[in-house]
């Protein structure tokens, strides 16, 4: 059973954390329309996977390190 404040939060489109004893962990309740917007946004960006960015991040960091005149002093 949800409290009055939890129900109000859901009405306003906010998430509600609840502990479900049968699951044994916290769960997040969210309105269906909010969930649909979130999943639609994820589909629009192609299901972005953060691990895909790691190689680009490494390249940028390597280029930055190559142009850093103080790098050697940082590494001591």
52-73 tens-digit pLDDT: 677 777 777 777 777 777 777 7
> Which of 27, 35, 34 lies closest to 12 in space, CA to CA?
34
Q: Extract the tokens encoding 19.
A: 């502990």
Cα 34–Cα 3–Cα 21 angle in degrees, nearest 5: 85
**Residue 66 is part of which domain span?**
4-74
Asked whether residue 9 carries a pLDDT value surpassing 80, the answer given is yes
Beta bridge partners of 18: 27
| CA distances in angstroms from 67 to 35, 57, 61, listed in the order given | 44, 16, 10
User: Domain total for the chain?
Assistant: 1
Give pLDDT, residue 4. 93
Over residues 16-45, the mean pLDDT reads 84
Mean pLDDT of all residues in 26-42: 85
In sequence order, the 6+-apart residues with CB closer than 8 A to the CB of 71 are: 65
């Amino acid at each position: 059973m949800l409290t009055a404040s939890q129900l109000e939060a859901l009405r306003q489109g906010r998430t509600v954390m609840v502990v479900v004893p049968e699951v044994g962990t916290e769960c997040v309740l969210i309105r269906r329309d909010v969930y649909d917007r979130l999943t639609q946004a994820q589909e629009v960006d192609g299901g972005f996977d953060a691990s895909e960015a790691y190689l680009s991040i490494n390249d940028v960091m390597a280029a930055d390190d190559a142009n850093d005149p103080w790098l050697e002093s940082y590494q001591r």
